[in-house]
Amino acid sequence: MDLPGQVNCETCRIRSCAVEVLDHQELQILKTNCAGAVYKKNERIFQQGSLCSNITYVKTGLIKIHKNGPSKDQILKLVKPPRFIGIPTVLGDKINHYSATALMPTTVCFIVTGIFKTLIMRNGKFANEVINSLCQDELTFYDRSINQMQKQIHGRLADALLFLADEIFLSDSFELPLSRSDLGDYIHATRESVTRTLSRMKSDGLIQMQGRLITLADKEMLVRISKLG
């Protein structure tokens, strides 16, 4: 982890919607209680079971949220910037209930927990934006959960590829940020099943693969597979 030092919340171009509604004095409070950090690929940002002392704001990069279960570590979701992570822990507990790991070079800001709570109590618009963000995350998680339970592996893998193309990289050609094992964890499938399904998609002309570089060659069909499950 590299520490770029103190950040300036007033001039930051990647501010959250919640921070946008803070006044000058509140921005000064945030600025003096916020520090930036840069993480390398596969570097752990925070660990499940550790004490939570900060809210994490993801500015750039990509993060996986994962949790140890009875038999293995499971990826719960991928987080793209800009996004707060760790709010439920801060508001409901003091211990991290999951881990966060960078999937590519990632820049974050850490906000002191007590200050974040103070801003929620002090500024109703800030609190409203935080609540809206939590609600959006929850609804998205519900949709993904039911898709994971009811779709076949082709549909789940198509979902993942379309999400990476449309939501993360904004391009139909991208370098896969997940290993085959991680991709399997993300879509609730084995590594072998993921490898076989990717190969089938390639032979059917749906995708092109060169190492980790993937191109969605027939996006229209992938969308149909995603919808049909």
Residues 159, 75, single domain; the answer is no
| φ, ψ (nearest 5 deg) of residue 43 | -85, 135
Residues 95 and 190 in one domain: no
Residue 1 is predicted with a pLDDT of 56
What is 24-64 written as a DSSP string?
HHHHHHHHTTEEEEEE-TT-EEE-TTSBP-EEEEEEES-EE
87 is a domain residue: yes
For residues 104 and 6, membership in a common domain is answered with yes
Q: How many domains does the chain have?
A: 2
131 in any annotated domain: no
Residue 84 placed within a domain: yes
Does residue 81 contact residue 58 with C-beta atoms inside 8 Å? yes
Owning domain of residue 50: 2-123
Distance of CA 7 to the CA centre of its chain: 22
> Do residues 6 and 48 both lie within one domain?
yes
Q: Are residues 71 and 182 in the same domain?
A: no
CATH number of the domain at 35, please: 2.60.120.10
Predicted model pTM: 0.85
For residue 4, the model assigns a pLDDT of 53
Could you tell me if 70 and 157 lie in one domain?
no
Question: Do 209 and 102 share a structural domain?
Answer: no
Position 129 in a domain: no
Query: Which among 123, 138, 156 is the end of a domain?
Result: 123
Could you tell me if 99 and 152 lie in one domain? Answer: no
Same domain, 78 and 112: yes
pLDDT tens, residue order, the chain (229 aa): 555 555 667 677 777 888 888 888 988 888 888 889 999 999 999 999 888 888 999 999 999 999 988 888 889 999 988 899 988 877 777 888 899 999 999 999 999 988 999 999 999 998 999 898 888 888 888 888 887 778 899 999 999 999 999 988 999 999 999 999 999 999 989 999 999 999 999 999 999 999 899 999 999 999 999 988 7
**Under 8 Å CB-to-CB from 85, ≥6 apart: which residues?**
55, 56, 57, 58, 63, 65, 79, 100
Q: Which two structure tokens, joined as six digits, stand for 158?
A: 């198509």
Identify whether residues 104 and 164 lie together within a single domain.
no
